[in-house]
Amino acid sequence: MKAKKQTHQFKTEVQQLMNIIINSLYSHKEIFLRELVSNASDALDKLRFKAQTDSHLMGTDTDLKIKITRKKNTLEISDNGIGMTFDEVVENIGTIAKSGTAGFLEAVGAAKNQEAVTPELIGQFGVGFYSAFIVAEKITLTTRAAGSDKGCRWESAGDGSYTIEEFDKETRGTTITLQLKKVDTEDQDFTDEWTIRGIIKRHSDFVGYPVVMDVEKTEPVLDADGTPEKDKTVKVIREETLNSMKAIWTKDKNEVTEEEHSEFYQHVSHDWNPPLAHLHLKLEGTTEYSALLYIPSKAPFDLFTHEQKHGIQLYSKRVFIMENCKELMPQYLAFVKGVVDAPDLNLNVSREILQQDALVRNIKKNLVKKILDLLADMEQEKYETFYKEFAYIFKSGISQDFDNKDKIAALLRYKTTKSDGKWVSLKDYVTRMQTDQKDVYYITGESLTTLINSPHLEALKEKDIEVLLMTDPIDEWVIRDLHEFEKKTFKSAEKGDLDLDKPDEKKKEEYDTLFEFLKSNLTEKVKDVKLSTHLKNSVACLSGGDYDMSAYMEKILKASGQEVPQSKRVLELNMNHPLLVKIKIIFEKNKDADILKDYTTFLYDMAVVSEGGKLDDPARFNKMIGNLTAGGIN
């Protein structure tokens, strides 16, 4: 018994998503066809893969293809792929891709305006089906899952609701029928043969299945002998394949044009930006495989989300096995897109088997090496484009990939106190080190402005020593796991003694009693008060021990919701600063003076402010500044 037609309302976020897509992508209307052809190709891939273990799914209908049918004001895109059950239609079409919807809306929100909605954003979040509402006033989807005897019809005018019902469909697969909106004379006619040909050529030429369409042909009339009759022709309808289906990765790399690379990259990545670089390999011998990999010029919107996918598609003898193949590329190179074709792999291979497969591990090792070599050989401007987009995830390779740690370290770039805003490699830094300099100095924090003006750098600047400015949170882990570069140890500019000059021991002794007094009044906040080896102009700063957590690391962990053990730092004071000299005078006149406690707190607050920290009592600090300005210190 056939189920009754059901009417459902779209979820609020789905309707919001549809409105954004329809209103923001008007100038990119043709992408709807790319997305529907891509979805059909995915359905054929899934059928072909599942049929390896269940031949009954394919049956006698083995001619896999995607067909485009043109009628008046109507366009159909159909496939004989895996199809969907009633429940799958409800899950995948009626409520749309759960995390995809949220991720898409979050990305749009982050951009603060709908103009940021680009074609690649549609593809990345898997919401391409709804792009059809850009051109359609009504969409009807009919489908039947492979192995099922029941079909399903879904229909919506994009007005906030949709209907769904069981439907008698003779063949497996999916057909999407678009009732097109009326077009102006200047608009593209999506039932026009050459319009469709152009779109398929631009966006779907490398789809691995025939994209076919019935076209009208003028052919000569043949006589009984098969000879063309003079001046006699007839118009006939022929099914024509619109795409080349070229397995571009199997070609010689010298035969592939930049235009073909750009087209293929768009096909595998859903990214309309041209790739920054590509790697085309064909290895023969003990380990055989072909690979065509691309480094994007722009980071995808989902790069740091849980839904972010690896960009490698795995094939065996041109037969698709799986997408999102994490086993072929480490997480820190997850942004790399492309195809790997390993002819010796079993078509029924599972992810669990891939993790243990020696061939796969060998391919991964080779690919990573080649990608790192590709990056190392890039000219400076192109590499800096890559680094600007992917540095954050790429740096994590220091912690993830011990075997290639040195290669990754050589590719790191930082701005420094002497680089005038330009990127500097660690090798460049080491080359420029002073003759007697033993360590690579660095400082971590939230912004370049804060770091370059940090009081911790005063003594280093005076000695003309260059300091690496690290503003990515991941840099804390980079330093933790890298330890050294070319046998030069990393040393924090804000932790431990710098030991640049020998202190004036006699003068230091004159301040010992004052420092003990200050420490006794700051017991809850600091673990020590001592002469600074960092300061030259400022009066105070906070530092940690060589093995203490940095202030920036502590802030990162707290922001991520982690519990951070209570830790105290060292208050360092500049005994040559006029303010400290005056405080010493007051202290020597009257150790019990009430104002000393105020200035004790003031010194600590000055240290907190100098590193961009938050004060417990800003009003009190402001009052103390006023007193100082008015000469109240005397």
Report pLDDT for 120: 46
Look up tokens 């000393």; give the residue.
596
For the entire predicted model, the pTM comes to: 0.69
Radius of gyration of the chain (CA): 33
| Regions in the chain scoring below 70 on pLDDT | 1-3, 12-14, 21-27, 94-127, 184-186, 302-308, 346-350, 630-634
Report pLDDT for 305: 60
User: Within its chain, how far is the Cα of 550 from the centroid?
Assistant: 27
Cβ atoms within 10 A of the Cβ of 310, count? 19
Q: Which fold has domain 248-382?
A: Ribosomal Protein S5; domain 2 (3.30.230)
**Tokens at 578, concatenated:** 């006029």
6-215 domain in CATH 2.60.40.10?
no
Report pLDDT for 131: 81
- Residue 544 DSSP symbol: B
- Residue 402 DSSP symbol: G
Report pLDDT for 472: 92
- Domain locations in the chain as residue ranges: 6-215, 248-382, 433-492, 505-629
Strands 228-241 and 211-222: antiparallel
User: Within its chain, how far is the Cα of 328 from the centroid?
Assistant: 18
Given the candidates 3.20.170.30, 3.40.50.720, 2.40.50.100, 3.40.50.11260, the CATH classification of the domain at 433-492 is 3.40.50.11260
Helices and strands per DSSP (H, E), number in the chain: 21, 23
pLDDT, tens digit (0-9, with 9 covering 90-100), for 45-95: 889 888 888 888 998 899 999 999 999 899 999 999 999 999 888 877 755
CA 33/CA 29 separation, integer angstroms: 9
CA 270/CA 225 separation, integer angstroms: 51
SS3 call for 264: helix
Residue 606 Cα distances to 128, 164, 318, 573, 603, angstroms = 54, 67, 66, 11, 5
Instruction: Provide the sign of the torsion angle of the four alpha carbons 264, 265, 270, 271, taken in this order.
Output: negative
Range 505-629: architecture per CATH? Up-down Bundle (1.20)
Of 286, 307, 253, 268, nearest to 105 by C-alpha is 307
CA 426/CA 423 separation, integer angstroms: 10
